[in-house]
Structure 1
Amino acid sequence: MRAEIAGSTEATGEERAIVCHLRRATEFGLDDLTFVLRHFLSHLNRGSVWCILKDAGLNRWPVKEKIRPVRGEGTFRDYYDLGYVHIDVKHLQKLQTADGEARKRFLYVAIDRCSRFVHLAVKAAFPFKTTHILTDRGSCFTADTFEKTCQDQGVDRRRTRAYSPQTNGMVERFDGRVATEVLPINVAHHADLEALLRGFNHAYNQRRQRVLNGLAPAAKVAERLLQQPGLRNRRHKPVKDAEIMNDVDRIMIYANDVSQPDS
């Protein structure tokens, strides 16, 4: 049976095996490899050879085959306990400020790798100490002031590889959730948007997750802090549920009224 490769070009399982074996044996680049293969597999063009190599994890040079664990069975390294935080910045739409001016703002999204605990704010304030920070190479994270702040706080600051957003995929995916679940809601002011984000943040941290074996991020954090009290951030000030949800209820009532005006 043939498997479709690169549109109309096809390759059998045996042909795929030949391409991969020749790549490993010769370590030829894509162009040289294609030139050799065309002598006895004339229907395979450069694009189809690249697709075969990509599917086998052999498309990069030098060849480095990776053995990945089965999904759900992988483990984090020892230092991936509470405190390894992925950070990103998301652009928000323009809304009115208190003085009536339309101004754009930026949302800092921070998510802990171990507990999936999230904080949405201008500054991240986790209930535990931050030990590592992973960011992309955006200008807001390459400024000298950001570097100095990390050094002053004793935080191990790390960057993703260039043009590799998947390295920071955990926070990138959460950015997508904010974009689809929060930002489409009609709000009038920045203050209401920030209150709505706080409510979404709080609800997410209380939601059970399969990846945490049925625990919510907040419960995971509480469990780890009970085991290791030294990780606790003494400056963290928890917010009462009622204060958050009362604001969210008010904003949602306004949003429903705007979205469904009286006929």
Structure 2
Amino acid sequence: MSHRNARLTVFGRRLLVERVRSGRPVAHVAAEMGISRATAHKWVRRWRTEGEVGLHDRSSRPRTTPHRTSAALEAQVCDLRRSRKLGPARIGPILGLPASTVHRILTRHGLGRLAWLDRPTGTPIRRYERARPGELVHVDIKKLGNIPDGGGWRVVGRTAGDRNRQATTDQRKSSTPVIGYSYIHSAVDDHSRLAYSEVLPDERQHTAIAFWQRANAFFQAHGITVQRVLTDNGACYRSKLFTQTLTAAGIAHKKIRPYRPQTNGKVERFNRTLLDEWAYLRPYTSNNERTEALADFLHTYNHHRCHTALDGQPPISRVNNAAGQYT
């Protein structure tokens, strides 16, 4: 890898070779480019033996590592990591290895972070991403407690919060203590992470179907034709009517294995982002105020928020790039 003070880059080495090929002495070309004759001869020799590939930097990794930890010992390190979820500081004394060596072994085998492992089995999580927008859309529901008018106890304290809750109950002429829950229905495209969400009063099948029809229209407006929908095993998604609605639109319905939310992980991660950057971003004084803020969050998420899985680009950029690639 060329450093910032390097005399020769790949372009400079190519220029060196071209000047030598024109018939000029290597020593004269080396003096013009501010390098030694030995360096100039090295790059000319590499070009003659390897061609254009020889002008690129080589790996600094040694050909052999005689003192590298044995494969059997590395296997023991990996087994302790998977079975007991131990870190380098604890694995090292058990096997008689420095913690730094254990850390390098874990990193080499993709076990450097516990977050990369499936907790029940200890195997590395296999992450996937569809090649095109619309191949798979993740759909899920997040239940969120409603906020009484005037603010809940997190904003105004227990006493005033209970008062606001009772006042909201009286206004609605209901005998039940406020208010219950709102249900945030969300759909996230697997490839682009383009997201659509709505705050709805329940999670019944007809509500879920109506939400999906609006979400599908949203994706179509962005040039995305949905081919498959992935959901969990909630009652509304197990209903025949929901599957029939998808099938009638030419969309396949896929459900995850029970108790395996990792499979639907992209929308699960989006739900966490919803909580951090919208629902719990600031104190809200009413449920309507929080609901109205959702539209601004979605616009920011889709058009401006940098996404680490998209090389720092917002989802709309991935959608636009895919549209240009496949048109």
TM-score (normalised: structure 2): 0.45
Long gaps (5+) in structure 1: 1-11, 22-29, 31-42, 44-54, 69-73, 230-263
- Equivalent in 247, 250, 258 of residue 154 of structure 1: 250
Whole-angstrom CA distance in 2 between matches of 1:20 and 1:106: 42
- The structure having more radius of gyration, on CA atoms, is 2
Residue 85 of structure 1 and its aligned partner are, at CA, apart by 0.8
Question: Counterpart of 1:218?
Answer: 316
Residue 221 of structure 1 and its aligned partner are, at CA, apart by 1.3
Alignment of 1:111-122 (within 5 A): 111-121=188-198
Matched, 1:176 2:272: yes
Residue 96 of structure 1 and its aligned partner are, at CA, apart by 5.4
Are the aligned partners of 1:85 and 1:113 in contact in 2 as well (CA < 8 Å)?
Answer: yes
Question: Counterpart of 1:205?
Answer: 302
- Equivalent in 138, 145, 159 of residue 93 of structure 1: 145
Whole-angstrom CA distance in 2 between matches of 1:221 and 1:19: 42
Question: Counterpart of 1:71?
Answer: none
CA RMSD of aligned residues (A): 3.9
Long gaps (5+) in structure 2: 1-69, 84-93, 95-110, 112-116, 150-167, 173-177, 201-210
Residue 136 of structure 1 and its aligned partner are, at CA, apart by 1.0
Whole-angstrom CA distance in 1 between matches of 2:273 and 2:302: 14
Q: Indicate how the Cα distance of structure 1 residues 205 and 67 shifts in structure 2: closer, same or farther if over 3 A, else same.
A: closer
Q: Bigger CA drift: 116-125 or 142-151?
A: 116-125
Alignment of 1:25-104 (within 5 A): 76=129, 78=131, 80-95=132-147, 100=172, 102-104=179-181
Q: Indicate how the Cα distance of structure 1 residues 60 and 88 shifts in structure 2: closer, same or farther if over 3 A, else same.
A: closer
Identity rate, percent:
27
Whole-angstrom CA distance in 1 between matches of 2:244 and 2:125: 37
Are the aligned partners of 1:88 and 1:136 in contact in 2 as well (CA < 8 Å)?
Answer: yes
Are the aligned partners of 2:130 and 2:136 in contact in 1 as well (CA < 8 Å)?
Answer: no
SS of the residue corresponding to residue 116 of structure 1 reads coil
Larger relative contact order (Cα-Cα within 8 Å, sequence gap ≥ 6): 1
Are the aligned partners of 2:129 and 2:190 in contact in 1 as well (CA < 8 Å)?
Answer: no
Which residue identity is paired with 1:198? A
SS of the residue corresponding to residue 187 of structure 2 reads strand
Which residue identity is paired with 2:317? A
Are the aligned partners of 2:306 and 2:314 in contact in 1 as well (CA < 8 Å)?
Answer: yes
Matched, 1:107 2:184: yes
Q: Deviations over 1:188-222 (max 9, x none)?
A: 44432222111111111122334223432112212
Question: Counterpart of 1:196?
Answer: 293
SS of the residue corresponding to residue 145 of structure 2 reads coil
- Equivalent in 156, 163, 167 of residue 263 of structure 2: 167
Whole-angstrom CA distance in 1 between matches of 2:125 and 2:309: 21
Q: Indicate how the Cα distance of structure 1 residues 66 and 201 shifts in structure 2: closer, same or farther if over 3 A, else same.
A: closer
Residue 95 of structure 1 and its aligned partner are, at CA, apart by 3.7
Whole-angstrom CA distance in 1 between matches of 2:186 and 2:192: 15
Q: Indicate how the Cα distance of structure 1 residues 212 and 144 shifts in structure 2: closer, same or farther if over 3 A, else same.
A: same
Q: Indicate how the Cα distance of structure 1 residues 18 and 199 shifts in structure 2: closer, same or farther if over 3 A, else same.
A: closer
Whole-angstrom CA distance in 1 between matches of 2:293 and 2:144: 13
Whole-angstrom CA distance in 2 between matches of 1:146 and 1:198: 26
